[in-house]
Amino acid sequence: MAPAEQVPTVVIVGGGYTGAAVAFHLARAFAVGAPRVLVVEPRGRLGGGLAYSTHDPVHRINVPAGRMSLFSDAPSHFADWLAATHALADDPEAITGEGLAYPRRHVFGRYVAEQLDPLLASGAIAHVRDEVVSIDERPGRFQLTLAHGADISADILVLATSHPAPAVPRPLRQLAGLPGFVADIHGSCGLGSIAPDDRVLLIGNGLTAADAIASLDSAGHRGRILALSRRGLRSRGHAVTPAEPRGDFSSLPARTALALLRRIRREVAAAAGEGITWHAVFDALREQAPAIWSALAQAERARLVRHLRVFWDVHRYRAAPQVVAVADRRIADGTLTVAAGRLLSAERHGMGFEIGYRLRGAPSAEHQRFDCIAVTTGPDHGTVTDSNPAIASLAARGNVRVDALRLGLDVSGSARAIDRHGRELPNLFVAGPLARATVGELMGLPQVTRHAERVAAEVARMAAASVRRAG
């Protein structure tokens, strides 16, 4: 083994699921001569992050447990862990009538943490409980400054922060800081200040909005909710009877967004003729996304994102059935309205707000008063170079840049960051959703797992080469 001072130090910024998965697979790749693996994460346990640290009992995983795993080659690993640990004994609602399990999210966080515990105990991984506020490039390495004042030197750096705050729509920005305005439901205040009879406006209709509706309902809220988005589209939910992925989109991939759309429509129609729902087609699209994406020129990718992304999102990202059921019930009893429209204005009115908006197809604007407003549009990955201090410092020095589609950061095929001059940085990696503009589909956990494994393998090769050179 190389002397300790010659062993490279790998620092992973962010210890949610993505960062924990990279650390886990990296540490397991080495028997001897391992690099030092440090994960900088302010939370007390690794693996939870924003998604899997929540203890709200209505927040459930959105993918059946049988497809959630820290190992891409063992997709049932989490489901097997659930059975072995009896983790669902106190949560009978986790199992649907079809026998699929959708545990509470913190249960998955516990599963990940338990896989890491032996590696933390052995010292193969070190958890630095802090936050990175600045990163400076030095010759052959990076210097990280932490919130508590300490510095860390990294020979190899992995950015694994996944969920920036949502973007606040322009008409609402003047409301920042006012009571009753929730810019981020996952922030320190969240939805806790909303009273049972408050009239609530949600901006956004995706999975974040579904979480908000379920949380409000669980907390006893019975007031009216208006969920407003440009197209008024909710998550389509899971198939009642799962089917195998259907369709070949990668052997001869479409070269234009329009050709891809037409192929999808044909496959969905053919499936329907056999009594199979569209879910199977979109599952095939998800699995083949890297090949589909790589076949599209940049202009076609941009066209796809601009015109079809919202439709992809509501079909691809499906809420747990238990969460969908809450929204369905609220719609049925008249306390939830899902609408397509455009937000026009927002003013403080007494202790609440007066909102102007125009519904799609309406000849004129409407004005309504609400007690509370919450932004539920989901993370805005395109502003990560502004919202995340560590990444902002790298961007200011030209080490990273936002990708052309504003889905995250510009990344090479080997998951290395591209600087503002278009050069690949050999020792700066980007893992997880921030790299999705390169691979096309990188939001679902199975895809994040595979990407984390690939990043870990790239880092391991680089670290091993460094140890050999030092030796």
Q: What is the pLDDT along the chain (471 residues), one digit of tens a residue?
A: 344 457 899 999 999 999 999 999 999 887 555 679 999 999 999 999 999 999 999 999 999 999 999 999 999 999 999 999 999 999 999 999 889 999 999 999 999 999 999 999 999 999 999 999 999 999 999 999 999 999 999 999 999 997 888 999 999 999 999 999 999 998 767 898 999 999 999 999 999 999 999 999 999 999 999 999 999 999 888 988 888 999 999 999 999 999 999 999 999 999 999 999 999 999 999 999 999 999 999 999 999 999 999 899 999 899 999 999 999 999 999 999 999 999 999 999 999 999 999 999 999 999 999 999 999 998 888 888 888 999 999 999 999 999 999 999 999 999 999 999 999 999 999 999 999 999 888 888 999 999 999 999 999 999 888 765 655
pTM for the full predicted model:
0.93
Contact 267, 246 (CB under 8 A): yes
The CA R_g of the chain, rounded to the nearest whole Å, is 23
Q: What's phi and psi for 53, nearest 5 deg?
A: -100, -15
Instruction: Please state, in angstroms and as integers, the Cα–Cα distance from residue 343 to each residue in 178, 231, 406, 453, following that order.
Output: 18, 12, 22, 42
Report pLDDT for 165. Answer: 85
Range 4-164+381-470: architecture per CATH: 3-Layer(bba) Sandwich (3.50)
Q: Which pLDDT score is estimated for 387?
A: 87
Residue 268 carries which side chain, given as an amino acid letter? V
State both tokens at 208: 């974040």
Distances (CA, A) of 123 to 21, 86, 126, 156, 332: 16, 29, 6, 18, 54
Any residues with CB less than 8 A from the CB of 378 and at least 6 apart, and which?
166, 204, 206, 207, 208
Same fold, 4-164+381-470 and 170-236+319-375: yes
Spans of all domains in the chain: 4-164+381-470, 170-236+319-375, 257-316
Supply the DSSP string of 346-404, one letter for each residue. EEEETTEEEEEEEETT-SS-EEEEESEEEE-S---GGGHHHH-HHHHHHHHTTS--B-T
Q: Please, what is the angle between helix 321-332 and helix 207-218, to 10°?
A: 70
CATH of span 170-236+319-375: 3.50.50.60
